[in-house]
Amino acid sequence: MLPIPTQIIPQFSFDGSVADVRQCQIGHINDTFVVQTQSARGPRRYILQRINQRVFRQPDALMANIVQVTEFLRRKIESEGGDPQRETLTLIPTKAGSPYLVTPDGDYWRAYLFIEGARAYQQVESPEHLYQAARAFGRFLRRLDDFPAEDMHITIPDFHHTPKRFQAFVQAVDADAHNRAHEARDLIDFALARGDKTGAIVQALDAGELPLRVTHNDTKFDNVLIDDVSGEGVCVLDLDTVMPGSALYDFGDFVRTGANTAAEDEPDPARVSLSLDYFDAIVRGFLQETAGALTPRETAWLPLGAWMIIYEQGLRFLGDYLNGDVYYRIHRPRQNLDRARTQFKLVADLEEKEEAAARIVERYAARR
């Protein structure tokens, strides 16, 4: 457990006096706390986070992106008659008026308003939840369709550059710095056998055959809040990786986490498969919200986007395991190895279901 950040909390403009602070264990990267306050207007909760600078090495640029995107989304949501305090993240400024805090030790802290009456699910409970979450991600992409991508900072260069991710993976295998490659030989061979397929999306972006968009770049199922009453996708969370990118990556990462029949770190690969029913719900919701925004090639390549991101994430989990678990937070030994095995099981399953997945996309694309 991390110590309660008692010196940090008073520096933010929270409403009322602090009644409770608890660490949140969910999430791989940042240190997160839930702060509850009490005032004459009643209780209120906030999310307080310390940005992990080992992962996010340009925190000022990262926060500049979040400020730009949330302000842009608030205007869009208001123009559509929505509620910006529920449909996008609301940064709580420091008492000095800054959108984030930098401590004398160089730590970066930020705070958000806690969105009540909704929650993020760690595992899919129904195709309807997937459909609604896919709508939320599609809506996020559509609302940012006219945001100039060139105005965004690239805070993690080559974040979804799959060929470079493959190169980094090969280097991790060759170095085998912690003598772990023998435990993962089957996964290493699986990954290496597909290395020549990594360049398709990157090459199309470079050639202008796919548009560069402002994208989320981490569209996990648990990064959408689902309303407790309506069951609708309310808000897209975790904007740390909002950067220029491809819609295919956003779609693909949602399939990676949403269409998996098991947990991301499931130790039993027999329980892991890519559900076509879940894939169907994702495609239906995503294309419903992005109608008129996606190009024909983007739409046709949605299954490729899913394959690419699932494969890429498998490379990243396995590479991190070989490197000594330095990037992704783990809560037990070999957790990153289990995560990698799950990804590659999904890759193999999607390869077997490639034609069926393409037919699902074609069916919903024809209805737009």
Strand order in the sheet with 17-24: 17-24, 31-39, 42-50, 108-113, 101-102
Q: Is residue 257 part of a domain?
A: yes
| CB count in 10 Å sphere of residue 346 | 28
Here the CATH number for the domain that contains residue 257 is 3.90.1200.10
Could you tell me the end-to-end alpha-carbon distance of the chain, in angstroms, rounded to an integer?
A: 49
**Same domain (yes/no): 287, 212:** yes
Query: For residue 43, what are the contacts with CB-CB under 8 A and spacing of at least 6?
Result: 16, 19, 36, 37
Residue that is written with structure tokens 């294309």 in the block: 287
pTM over 0.85: yes
Integer Cα distance of 214 and 243 in angstroms: 6
* Domain edge (last residue) among 84, 116, 148: 116
Tally of domains within the chain? 2
Encode the chain (368 residues) as per-residue pLDDT tens digits. 678 899 999 999 999 999 999 998 766 689 999 999 999 889 999 999 999 998 899 999 999 999 999 999 999 999 999 999 999 999 999 999 999 999 999 999 999 999 999 999 887 888 999 999 999 999 999 999 999 998 999 999 999 999 999 999 999 999 999 999 999 999 999 999 999 999 999 999 999 999 999 999 999 999 999 999 999 999 999 999 999 999 999 999 999 989 999 989 999 999 999 999 999 999 999 999 998 899 999 999 999 999 999 999 999 999 999 999 998 889 999 999 999 999 999 999 999 999 999 999 999 998 87
Considering just the CA atoms, what is the radius of gyration of the chain in Å? 20
Tokens for 36?
């509850």
Closest CA to 346 of 297, 312, 307: 307
Residue 68 sits in which domain range? 9-116
